[in-house]
Chain A
Amino acid sequence: MIMNLTFYNDEATWLHRLDPRTKICGVLLIFVICLCFNHPLFIVGILAGVLAIFTTAKSLKVLWKLRFLLVLLFVFSVVLWPFFIKGKTILLEWHGLEVSRESLLYGLAMGLRLTTFVSAGLLLLATTKNEEITNGLIRLGIPYPVAFALATAIRLAPTFADAGATIVQAQVSRGLDLDSKNIFSRFKRFAPLSIPIFISAMRYTNFLAMALESKGFRPDAPRTSYYEPQTTGRDWLVLGSLMLILAACLYLRLSLHWGIIISGRL
């Protein structure tokens, strides 16, 4: 195996034991909480909270696996946002492009928000088995085929990434230069990579469909579930706390106007 992109981290923490429905709703609540503020300090607070949950779920290493992506998202956001936002305190002006203190801070906030979004999503994937996510989605009223397709997509991402990495190595061995800066050579290397990836993905999915049907699976038929999630008091406690936090955040933002760098924006 060249890459391991499975996010599920098999532990037995409180978070792993929560009902998948609670976790799905919880992550959505965290998303909304993130949207309450656009001041970086406030979002740092939310991110710190998410990281604290990661620690109690013994899953920080999942975050570490994606460190490059997270840093990339953050940096892009921080660098790009300031050019699209106007603020009062101008720090830099150059040929009509201006960067202000507010826009800089807003960019920082957006970078942090994106990081928090991705982290919260990973929290769900790190502590919930694919089958549990499917089960949770169904019990939340999502139609079975949709839930199954979604879970399958999550399941297949690492497989395809793995095949992709092998294909890159195979073509690099033949002399394909992936480091070239030249636009034309970049275009030329598109086919040697994309065609094998596409074909192996097609083969794989077709094969998988055969394997699933051969085991008696049909998307529209009733089936039982080996892991039956149990909703306990803890689930209600988690949801209740998150709702309270959301309410508090809304109050801070809407009534006290806290955590705002640029008003009128999410």
Chain B
Amino acid sequence: MTSSIVFDHLSFSYQNTTAPALQDISGEMSRGSFTMVMGHSGAGKSTLCCAINGLVPRFLRGDYAGRVMAEGMEAGKNSVPDMARAVGIVLQDFEAQLFSTNVELEMAFGLENQCLPRTAMEERIHTYLRVVGLEELLRRDTATLSGGQKQRLAIGSVLAMETPVLVMDEPTTDIDPEGRHQILSLIRRLRTQDRTLVVTDLDAEAAVQADQIWLLRDGQLLAKGTPAETLTDSSLIESCGVRPLATIALFQAMNWPGQPLTVDAAMAEIENQGLLRPSRPEGRAISALPPGKVILETRNLSYRYPAGSTNALSDIDLTIHEGDFVAMLGQNGSGKTTLAKHFNGLLKPTAGDMFLRGRPVNNYRRDELAREVGYVFQNPDHQIFAPTVGEEVSFGPRILGIDRKTLERNIAEALDATGLSGFEDKNPFLLNRGERQRVAVASILAVKPAVIILDEPTTGLDYVHQLDTMEMLKRLNQLGHTIIVITHAMWIAEAYARRSILMKEGRILLDGPTSEVFSDETMLAAASLAPSDLIRLRNRLGLAAMTLTDMVKELRGDNIVIPFPNQR
């Protein structure tokens, strides 16, 4: 096979940084192959992608050594627009790269740069909109597309340029499970098109279909090999910040023979080898937590955006108790964020009522609300402004007029809870995304609100940081804070939330203990969601446990405790 991309001892460090982003990367990707690049955040995945089309070092500057060849063109020696003849790249923030008025023009942009005549453009646009499944949306305003559609458009517009190499940097981040599923099946279809595919992702489940997996850690190429070679080594991929495959992890923990990469393969192994004892494990202890007082309550709440023609929320009746740990799930646009913004009065219901401790939210002053309900926005960069972490975290309590002594204690506690002690004098803008996310949480924590709402707290974080964040929320919950998490990451809801609320088209589809909600795969599918591989296995095996450790215990016949919150 001829090689399409060649890395030849590539090293790179960004300007004004000391740690190298990439160190001595060598390797080949053959023409028509599909390579998945994985690693923790900051491992150098994006840098590697950008090195293929010359954005590194032409646009993102720094110390560059070695070379990268893509389809015979040397990336460092050609300009980025020249490299665009050989390499198409879909950058990480797909929303920001959609630039045109409508779908058709977005598709045309690259082709216009290639100076294609109009008729040829038309043909390409139609062909590739069909490939990405957007042919119906030719004239749609790109801003009105769903996350999955936007990402497919971003991919389609690069595909249309018919470059022999296609690079996609984390194409499934920030997208709901349905959109993610669409992208993964699109990648599967692209495999038949004889293009060299390079994709980065954080999820091992997405990597199963690749020809080759490259594992990066701290800028070094730690391992490369087929999925069967790399993904079966759970400790290796975990050391690279990637969550191991649930199937492999379960088989290893149970000492079962076989290394199935998918749920279907795992079920086949279990059945063929008779791994599961015929009797279902008995004697599960179920503990009922005493319900806390009602803290948030909506009655018949509906909301319509000022410019909207339909209700974003319709007739929501919901009670949340003190000490709850709630996950709000649903597709993009299902109303999760809109509902959560009612909890702290950012939005006022068009009809119905929103109560906080039995008092209408409208009757609270802004500063009273901020003390009761903290809201961590999805993107930490939307709130960070201070030159030091300490100042940033103290902003909330200071403007709320909390006295100096309490303030200092609160800040110390908030920094401690988020693992940021010792960061007081650091510049928040120089921290990585995971750390900035924690600064944002700390700055809300410092006010000590009874309820903490987090919108997609794990977006853009790798597995290790996701775990850190969620363990921190668990601790806060144990300290008595009510936690409400809006998330697309199913495993987070599964492993941490006691209660899950499924939303669809502005209504609550299902609301109950997480273990029950995730048993109902039909209902989840109705909300365009699917459980993680671990829970799919659990459901097929008829288990009650929600985490790997509990599943192993349950399969061995030990007692486990599934906390069920009492509600309503």
**Using a CB–CB distance below 8 Å, which chain A residues touch chain B?**
1, 3-4, 6, 8, 10, 65, 129-131, 155, 158, 163, 166-167, 169-177, 179, 188, 191-196, 199-200, 203-204, 207-218, 221-228
Contact = CB atoms under 8 A, between A and B. Distances in A.
Contacts of A204: 96
Nearest to B97: A211
A226 B118 contact: yes
Nearest to B396: A174
Contacts of A10: 102, 139, 141
Nearest to B140: A10
B382 A226 contact: no
Nearest to A128: B101
B115 A191 contact: no
Contacts of A228: 118
B148 interface: no
B87 to A, nearest CB: 8
Contact of A174 (B104, B341, B447): B447
Contacts of B447: 174-175
Contacts of A200: 381-382
Given A213-B59, A214-B55, A224-B118, A196 B96 contact: no
A179 B345 CA distance: 15
A241 to B, nearest CB: 28
Contacts of A221: 81, 113
Contacts of B379: 166
A175 B89 CA distance: 41
A232 B429 CA distance: 54
Contacts of B114: 216
Interface in B360-398: 366-367, 370-371, 374-375, 377, 379, 381-386, 395-396
A210 B59 contact: yes
B385 A169 contact: no
B111 A226 contact: yes
B91 A210 contact: yes
Contacts of B385: 191-196
Interface of B: 50, 53, 55, 59-60, 79-81, 84-85, 88-89, 91, 93, 96-97, 99-102, 104-105, 108-118, 121, 139, 141, 143, 157-158, 161, 307, 341, 344, 346, 366-367, 370-371, 374-375, 377, 379, 381-386, 395-396, 399-400, 429, 443-444, 447
Contacts of B60: 210
A1 B344 CA distance: 18
Contact of B115 (A4, A163, A223): A223
A251 B108 CA distance: 47
A77 B75 CA distance: 57
Contacts of A195: 384-385
Contacts of B395: 174, 192
A223 to B, nearest CB: 5
A29 to B, nearest CB: 25
Given A172-B366, A216-B114, 10 more contacts: A131-B105, A166-B377, A175-B447, A188-B399, A195-B384, A207-B97, A211-B97, A215-B84, A216-B161, A224-B117
Contacts of A6: 141, 143
Contacts of A155: 99
13 contacts: A6-B141, A10-B141, A129-B102, A131-B100, A131-B105, A169-B377, A174-B443, A175-B367, A196-B383, A208-B99, A213-B81, A214-B53, A214-B89
A65 B93 CA distance: 29
B370 A174 contact: yes
Contact of B382 (A166, A179, A213): A166
Given A173-B375, A216-B113, A226 B143 contact: no
B366 A131 contact: no
Given A172-B346, A208-B99, A224-B118, A217 B383 contact: no
Report, nearest first, the 7 A-B pairs whose CB atoms are least far apart. A175-B370, A216-B84, A211-B97, A195-B385, A226-B108, A216-B113, A173-B375
A174 B81 contact: no
Nearest to A190: B385
Contacts of A214: 53, 55, 80, 84, 88-89, 91
B118 A210 contact: no
B382 A177 contact: no
A15 to B, nearest CB: 16
A211 B95 CA distance: 11
A158 B95 CA distance: 14
A215 B342 CA distance: 41
Contacts of A163: 382
Contacts of B399: 174-177, 188
Given A4-B307, A196-B385, A218-B81, A170 B158 contact: no
A130 B100 contact: yes
A204 B307 CA distance: 25
Contacts of A191: 385-386
B396 A223 contact: no
Contact of A177 (B102, B139, B366): B366
B295 to A, nearest CB: 17
Given A172-B366, A215-B109, A217-B113, A226 B91 contact: no
A198 B143 CA distance: 22
B79 to A, nearest CB: 8
Contact of B113 (A170, A211, A215): A215
A221 B233 CA distance: 50
Contacts of B374: 173-174
A175 B91 contact: no
A26 B478 CA distance: 66
Most chain B beta-carbon neighbours within 10 Å: one of A6, A192, A199, A214: A214
Contact of A129 (B105, B143, B375, B443): B105
B366 A175 contact: yes
A200 B158 CA distance: 25
Contact of A216 (B81, B141, B396): B81
B370 A207 contact: no
Contacts of A170: 375, 377, 382-383
Contacts of B370: 173-175
Given A171-B383, A226-B108, A199 B429 contact: yes
Contacts of B371: 175
